[in-house]
Amino acid sequence: MKIVWSPLSLEKITDISEYIAHDNLTAAEKWIDAIFSVVGRLSKFPESGRIVPEFTKKDLREIIFGNYRIIYCIKDDQIQILTIRHGKQIISEQDIIE
């Protein structure tokens, strides 16, 4: 399956990596590589993430990556990465852009 990153999800990656880079540039670079690697596995195993507990939609899923939740949607032959949120953040429908 093809993976498509939303502009919001790429913005979140940038924000998070810049925050990490303030303390450790190498750690930020490793974090970016790791998140793309983890998400890349979804192309073979799209339903490996759990259904997002705040919602009841079967096609809206998440994988946990460290302290972060990667929220994605399975549509047709695509996996759409919608957003990335810290695990302590509450997610509302306005946070999910499809």
Quickly list DSSP for the chain. -EEEE-HHHHHHHHHHHHHHHHH-HHHHHHHHHHHHHHHHGGGT-GGGSEEPTT---TTEEEEEETTEEEEEEEETTEEEEEEEEETTS---GGG---
Any idea where the domains of the chain sit in the sequence? 2-91
Q: What is the pLDDT of residues 73-97, one digit of tens each?
A: 999 889 999 999 988 887 777 667 5
Q: For position 58, what pLDDT does the model report?
A: 83
User: Is the confidence at residue 64, as pLDDT, over 70?
Assistant: yes
Over 90: is that where the pLDDT of 66 sits? yes
pLDDT number for residue 10: 96
What are the pLDDT digits (tens) for 8-62? Answer: 999 999 999 999 999 999 999 999 999 999 999 999 999 999 998 888 788 899 9
pLDDT score for 98 = 47
Class of domain 2-91: alpha beta
pTM value is 0.89
